[in-house]
Structure formats: structure tokens, C-alpha cells
């Protein structure tokens, strides 16, 4: 919900953008409608042809991903096209700021990709980092957009890549917004997904038409209220600030945090270096909490587990003789730590509501499946009506209604059964747990609701 001040800013920004768009640079066609002049094929063997004024790619067995790439390199741009699939629901995509270097995996294409996904998963418009870091923005982060794409019909796709801001639309509906600064320039490319050995998947067609690009006097579309995935460590973009996000940890000091045992920050147990907040793992129980308290909020952070590590992020705390306990987003190496096999039905595994609700099943995919030693992304959402969600790497893994009869029944059979008012605090600090293992945190951001 926007405040009146933010709404006024939004309206002024929209007016300024609309005025700028009247003088924006011209659209440049990327396809002449007759042949593939200005394009080249990279990587796979899937054929690209011109049929009745459209570019047509066809899936073939035994080929890796195939790309029809522009000869020209683009930096900042706005791109639009129409796409239609027929003959089979094959995965596809549009590569942007793509790179292909002979010294890197024999020229394998890498870079950002607008996903075209006609499967039941319905992630069309999501942003994937091809052959590098994997999923930045599965469309689970914006479920209202999962119905935007229509298989077998012409669909309009739009990409805005302006500075580090990467945004996508499908049929006029905003789908994804990523802030990432790794690649500033590259080619555009149309992708036909590889098929290893499934002959039945061969012959699926992807048609493209009305491909055009704008590269001068660019004006971004007015902001929308979808979730923004910002990969820049300890950064809150202007678009995030507009919707109320702020850093919960500033990335360089102990400001806003203290130990649970006294007012000081326990520097012997926690280290701050190079934009990372680390529980060192040489003590146990030196948890830290925020000096601010929160009720309804949206919290997100990046974390990196070391092998066998155990930690957690706690909220709606209750003070107990040993410090604080509360509702806990479990952070755990499920393969190596014995706690994953305790509790009930996996309710002590990574992403679970510790000892209460297990994490749900997650889909596969690079940067979705948790990997020890790599940065992962977590998120907690608590509404004013006490609806709570846990997210892991862009996937909602559980939800519940705090204080409901079902929730009370879960508490009654848990280790917290004899703690009056457990998890029912109206507001409280946020806690990072020192469980005696080394765990790294960064990009802790919060949005009070």
C-alpha cells in the first residue's frame, strides 16, 4: 500500500515519464520480414527459417540450446516482439545482454533470459541467468502474472534493460523486476530449447514477429508494485525504496543490532567484513537482535551455510531465562546436520517453521535447489491479519495463520507447548541465531506493512 506522499511522487514520476516518452528515440526494426540479415546462429543445431514474414525456430533431437543472435551488441534498450508457439509446448526464451566467448565452454551462450514457458509451471516472463547463476525471478514471485501467457496465440513480450534494472512484461502485464549489474552489454537472441533424446518433443515451433528495439532517450515504464529481486549486496534500489524497503543491516557496522545478553554487540561471536555479517561459530547462544521492533512486515535476506551448519532467523519473540525464543525460519544443512531428521515430518529442515511446519516441496532448477556454500535467498511475509509465509529462493515453501486454531494445535504438540503466549507477541525485534556454526548473512532488508 502506498502512502499519500509516495502516491504523489508516483503520479509526478508517471507524468514526467509520459512527457519524456513523447520525445523518446525511434523504434528500430530487428527483422526485415524476408531473411535473417543481421542475425547469426550460435551453439545448437535447431533450424531458424523465415516463413510468411515470421522467424520460425524448430526443436530437434540431440541438440543443445540453440540461439539466433543479433550481430549488433546492445546496452540499455527497450525491446518488444510477438511470439506464438505451436506443435508442442517446448520451453523457449529471449536472451538479452547475451555473451558467447570461444574461451568459455566453447562459446556457450550466457546471460539474462526472458523465459517462455508454456508448461503448467507457467513461468513465462521470468528472468533466468543462462549458463551462469540460474533463476533470478521464477514467476512464483508474481503469481498474478502466471496467467498472462497464452499458448497457441500471439503474445506480446517486452523487456526494459536500463542500467542494472531488468524488467519484463507479457501481454502488457508486468511479470519480473530484477536489479543486477553483472552484464551491461550483449546481443539479443531467440532461443530454441535443447532436446536430448525425446523424439516426441521434436518439431515444436516457435514463431516471432514484429521484433523492434529502442536504444536512445529511454524512459522506463512507471513503477509497479511487484516484488523486486535485487542481487546487489546490501543495496536498496530507488524502486524498492518507493515501496517502503530499507536495509535492516547497513552492510558495514553493528548499528541497529545488539546482543541478547546486554546492550553491546558481541564482536567475539559475530564478524563484519566485506559486506558480510558472519556468526563465527566459536560460541553458542550469542544471538543478536534488532534495536527496532516489528509487527506486520516483509523481510528478506541472503544467507550462506557452511557444511553442517545450523542457524535461524526468529520473529515474534518471547523473552525466556536464556534470552529469547520465537517463531523461527530454520537455516540448516539438511544433509549433514542431525536436526533435519528430528522433529516431525521434516519440520526442522531448511526453510521450515522450526518444530512446527515443514517446508513444502520445491521445484528443481539452478539457484532454486539449495546448495551449501552458495548464497541463497530467503523471505518472510507477515500481514496485519497474521497471515505468514516463508519463501526460499523465490518459492513459497509454507504459510499459516498465526494465532488460528490450527496454529495453536501445532504449538500444543511442539517443544513450545508449555510456553504461554508463544509466538503471539504483538511486535518484537528480529533475531539472528548463534547456534555454534559459521553462517554468513547479507542484504538484510525489511518493509514494515
Spatial distance between the Cα atoms of 36 and 33, rounded to a whole number of angstroms: 8
- Distance between CA 220 and CA 238 in Å, rounded? 13
Instruction: Identify which of 212, 168, 238 has the alpha carbon closest to the alpha carbon of residue 74.
Output: 212
d(CA 70, CA 382): 45
Are 315 and 294 contacting, i.e. CB atoms less than 8 angstroms apart? yes
Angle at 230 between CA 333 and CA 239, to 5 degrees: 145
Question: How far are the Cα atoms of 94, 132, 380 from residue 128, in angstroms, in the given order?
Answer: 10, 9, 23
The average pLDDT across 34-52 equals 96
pLDDT at 106 over 50: yes
- pLDDT in the model for residue 262: 87
The pLDDT value recorded for residue 196 is 83
Does the pLDDT value for residue 13 go beyond 80?
no
- Identify the band that residue 111 occupies on the pLDDT scale cut at 50, 70 and 90: very high
Of 11-25, 135-149, 156-170, 190-204, where does mean pLDDT reach its minimum? 11-25
Angle at alpha carbon of residue 102, lines to 96 and 107, rounded to 5°: 45
pLDDT at 10 over 90: no
Sheet containing strand 288-290, edge to edge, reads: 257-259, 288-290, 431-432, 310-320, 323-332
Q: Is the pLDDT of residue 5 over 50?
A: no
Output the average pLDDT for the chain: 93
The structure's pTM equals 0.93
- CA–CA separation, 233 and 444 (whole Å): 9
> How crowded is residue 364: how many other Cβ atoms within 10 Å of its Cβ?
6
CB-CB contact of 16 with 22 (8 Å): no
All three cell numbers of 40: 547469426
Q: Which DSSP helix (H) or strand (E) runs through 156?
A: strand 155-162
Q: Beta strand 173-179 with 110-116: parallel, antiparallel or unpaired?
A: unpaired
> What's the longest Cα–Cα distance across the chain?
77
Alpha helices, DSSP H, located in 229-323: 238-242
Local confidence band at 24 (pLDDT 50, 70, 90 cut-offs): low
Residue 353 pLDDT > 80: yes
State residue 105's pLDDT score. Answer: 80
Domains of the chain listed by start with CATH number = 22-214 (2.60.120.560), 241-448 (2.60.120.560)
User: HSE of 445 in the Cβ direction (CA atoms, 13 Å)?
Assistant: 24
Other CB atoms closer than 10 Å to residue 291's CB: what's the count? 10
- The closest of 154, 135, 134, 138 to 146, measured between CA atoms, is 138
| Integer angstrom CA distances of residue 415 from 310, 329, 372, 424 | 18, 16, 28, 16
CB-neighbour burial class of residue 71 (10 A; exposed 0-12, middle 13-18, buried 19+) = exposed
Q: What is the pLDDT of residue 319?
A: 86
The average pLDDT across 257-286 equals 96
What is the H or E stretch that residue 406 is in? helix 405-412
Please check the confidence at residue 323 and state whether its pLDDT lies above 60.
yes
Angular region, 159: left φ>0, alpha ψ -120 to 50, beta rest: beta
Q: What is the pLDDT of residues 386-416, one digit of tens each?
A: 999 999 999 999 999 999 999 999 999 999 9
pLDDT of 357 > 50? The answer is yes
Q: List the grid coordinates of 353.
A: 517453521
Per-residue pLDDT for 14 more than 70? no
Amino acid at each position: 500500500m502506498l502512502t499519500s506522499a509516495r502516491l504523489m511522487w508516483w503520479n509526478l514520476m508517471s507524468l514526467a515519464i509520459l512527457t519524456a516518452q513523447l520525445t523518446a528515440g525511434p523504434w528500430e526494426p530487428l527483422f526485415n520480414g524476408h531473411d535473417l540479415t543481421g542475425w547469426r546462429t550460435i551453439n545448437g543445431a535447431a533450424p531458424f527459417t523465415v516463413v510468411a514474414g515470421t522467424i520460425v525456430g524448430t526443436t530437434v533431437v540431440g541438440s543443445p540450446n540453440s540461439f539466433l543472435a543479433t550481430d549488433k551488441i546492445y546496452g540499455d534498450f527497450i525491446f518488444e516482439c510477438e511470439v506464438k508457439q505451436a506443435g508442442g509446448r517446448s520451453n523457449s526464451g529471449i536472451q538479452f545482454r547475451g555473451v558467447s566467448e570461444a574461451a568459455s565452454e566453447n562459446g556457450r551462450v550466457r546471460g539474462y533470459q526472458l523465459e517462455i514457458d508454456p508448461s503448467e509451471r507457467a513461468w513465462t516472463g521470468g528472468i533466468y541467468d543462462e549458463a551462469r547463476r540460474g533463476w533470478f525471478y521464477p514467476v512464483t514471485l508474481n503469481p498474478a502474472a502466471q496467467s498472462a501467457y497464452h499458448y497457441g496465440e500471439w503474445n506480446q513480450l517486452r523487456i526494459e534493460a536500463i542500467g542494472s534494472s531488468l524488467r519484463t512484461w507479457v501481454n502488457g502485464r508486468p511479470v519480473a523486476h530484477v536489479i543486477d549489474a553483472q552484464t551491461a552489454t550483449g546481443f539479443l537472441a531467440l532461443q530454441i530449447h535443447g532436446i536430448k533424446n525425446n523424439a516426441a518433443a521434436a518439431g515444436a515451433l516457435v514463431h516471432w514477429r514484429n521484433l523492434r528495439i529502442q536504444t536512445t532517450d529511454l524512459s522506463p515504464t512507471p513503477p509497479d508494485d511487484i516484488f523486486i529481486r535485487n542481487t546487489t549486496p546490501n543495496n536498496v534500489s530507488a524502486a524498492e525504496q518507493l515501496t517502503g524497503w530499507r536495509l535492516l543491516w547497513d552492510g558495514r557496522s553493528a548499528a541497529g543490532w545488539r546482543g541478547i545478553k546486554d546492550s553491546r554487540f558481541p564482536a567475539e561471536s559475530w564478524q563484519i567484513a566485506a559486506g558480510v555479517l558472519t556468526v563465527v561459530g566459536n560460541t553458542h547462544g550469542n544471538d543478536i537482535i534488532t534495536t527496532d521492533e516489528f509487527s506486520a512486515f516483509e523481510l528478506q535476506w541472503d544467507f550462506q551455510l557452511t557444511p553442517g551448519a545450523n542457524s535461524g532467523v526468529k520473529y515474534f519473540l518471547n523473552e525466556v531465562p536464556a534470552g529469547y525464543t520465537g517463531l523461527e525460519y530454520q537455516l540448516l544443512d539438511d544433509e549433514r546436520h542431525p536436526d533435519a531428521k528430528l522433529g516431525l515430518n521434516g519440520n526442522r529442515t531448511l526453510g521450515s517453521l522450526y518444530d512446527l511446519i515443514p517446508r513444502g516441496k520445491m521445484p528443481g532448477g539452478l539457484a532454486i535447489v539449495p546448495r551449501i556454500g552458495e548464497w541463497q535467498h530467503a523471505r518472510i511475509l507477515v500481514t496485519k491479519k497474521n497471515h505468514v509465509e516463508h519463501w526460499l529462493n523465490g518459492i513459497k515453501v509454507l504459510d499459516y495463520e498465526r494465532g488460528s486454531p490450527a496454529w495453536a494445535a501445532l504449538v500444543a504438540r511442539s517443544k513450545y507447548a508449555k510456553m504461554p503466549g508463544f509466538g503471539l507477541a504483538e511486535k518484537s525485534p528480529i533475531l539472528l541465531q548463534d547456534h555454534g556454526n559459521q553462517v554468513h548473512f547479507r542484504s538484510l532488508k525489511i518493509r514494515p506493512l
